[in-house]
Amino acid sequence: MDQAEQLRNIVKLHNQAEPKVARVITVTSGKGGVGKSNMSVNLALQLKKMGKRVIIFDADFGLANIEVLFGAFPPYNLGDVIYKDKNIKEVITTGPLDIGFISGGTGIEGLGNLGKEEVQRLVSNLAELDSLADVIIVDTGAGISDSVLEFVLSGNEVILVTTPEPTSITDSYSLLKALNRSPGFSTSGIRIRIAVNRVLSASDGRNLFSKLDVVVNRFLDMEIEYLGNVPQDDHILRAVMKQNPVSIEYPNSKSAKAFEEIAKKIISDAGEGEPNASKKGMAGLFSNFMSKRRFR
């Protein structure tokens, strides 16, 4: 039995023991500076307001955007689970509205060098998150690096954040093209939705998606869906400066209301598209991620 098969067996046993697994949503972008982490944080907060248990996993290692936006400083990160025998509950930091978040720290960089027992322990720890949350949001790095693509491919539900800027649209298409060309990519195994940030009007967001959709349908063998848009809003910048998310600092602002609408849409379509069994929950995502890192 190879190591990839061993990882799949860990996930299989976990899913049999704990049939209810968390819904894992990967948030990514083709370039930095488009508001990806703000999207992750504010969607998490809106989902929490709607009664969901939410944990954010900050996979943008080295930049610590989530903790900056929350104004919190986690004492531990994923590396402490891997190398210092901490359990996953010990590295969860509590943010606003009691949302939990986990810093990837620099621990992700060394994942490709782990031994069999370390991998099993890590995946088993991450499997515990499925019993602690209804929704887990994975905030990836920006761009089309190997680690970003591996995270996106490892899950079954993706939100791609873009803006009306030409460079952002181009980079979003580049990320989609890179995914489409990746080994093991399957249109039936992953759902990709587009969220447009910093629009001047709702029609701008819809028009941007329509143009991107035309190009994707013409040149790539994949489907994308429109999730919604967030307007250009100075309240977001003010909230960032205060290190308090706009959904809390300015709950009645246009942007906070837009995040709320997107969160409602995420909840309303929760039953659409049953994920591949091997991709269910956080254990499924990470076992797939580890397999791609170790066995490409």
DSSP 80-120: HHHHS---GGGGPEE-GGG-EEEE-TTGGGGGGG--HHHHH
CB 269 within 8 A of CB 226: no
**Vertex 130, ends 111 and 65: CA angle to 5°?**
55
> In this structure, what is the dihedral angle of CA atoms 259, 264, 60, 232, given to the nearest 10 degrees?
-20
Backbone angles phi, psi at 193, to 5 degrees: -120, 145
pLDDT in tens, the chain (296 residues): 455 555 555 555 555 555 578 999 999 999 989 999 999 999 999 999 999 999 999 887 666 678 888 888 888 888 888 888 899 999 999 999 999 999 877 555 556 566 777 777 788 888 899 999 999 999 988 888 887 888 888 888 999 999 999 999 999 999 999 999 988 787 778 999 999 999 999 999 999 999 999 999 999 979 999 999 999 999 999 999 999 999 999 999 999 999 999 999 999 986 555 555 556 788 888 878 777 665 44
User: What gap in Å lies between CA 243 and CA 70, rounded to an integer?
Assistant: 6
Please report the pLDDT score of residue 296 as a whole number.
43
Sequence-distant (6+) residues with CB within 8 A of 36 are 27, 28, 29, 139, 140, 142, 161
User: What gap in Å lies between CA 26 and CA 137, rounded to an integer?
Assistant: 6
Output the pTM of the full model.
Answer: 0.89
Please report the pLDDT score of residue 194 as a whole number.
98
Nearest-10 crossing angle of helices 3-17, 281-294: 180
Cβ neighbours, 10 Å, residue 249:
18
228: tokens are: 């919604």
Instruction: Report residue 18 CA to chain centroid gap.
Output: 22
Please report the pLDDT score of residue 74 as a whole number.
87
Classify 205 in phi/psi space as left (phi over 0), alpha (psi -120 to 50) or beta.
Answer: alpha
Residue 58 gets which letter from DSSP? Answer: E
Please report the pLDDT score of residue 283 as a whole number.
81
Please report the pLDDT score of residue 295 as a whole number.
44
